[in-house]
Amino acid sequence: MDIDLRPLIVLSPIVLVVAWAAYNIIKAAIKGEAKLFGEKGNNPFGKGGS
Q: Is residue 10 part of a domain?
A: yes
Q: Is residue 49 part of a domain?
A: no
Residue-number span of the structural domain to which 16 is assigned: 1-35
> What is the distance between the alpha carbons of residues 32 and 47, in angstroms, rounded to a whole number?
8
Q: Is residue 45 part of a domain?
A: no
- pLDDT at position 6, please? 92
Q: Is residue 21 part of a domain?
A: yes
Q: Is residue 46 part of a domain?
A: no
Q: How many domains does the chain have?
A: 1
Closest to 48 (Cα-Cα) out of 24, 32, 26, 36? 32
pTM for the complete prediction?
0.51
pLDDT single digits (tens) 5-49: 998 999 999 999 999 999 988 887 777 665 555 555 555 555 554
Q: Is residue 25 part of a domain?
A: yes
Q: Is residue 40 part of a domain?
A: no
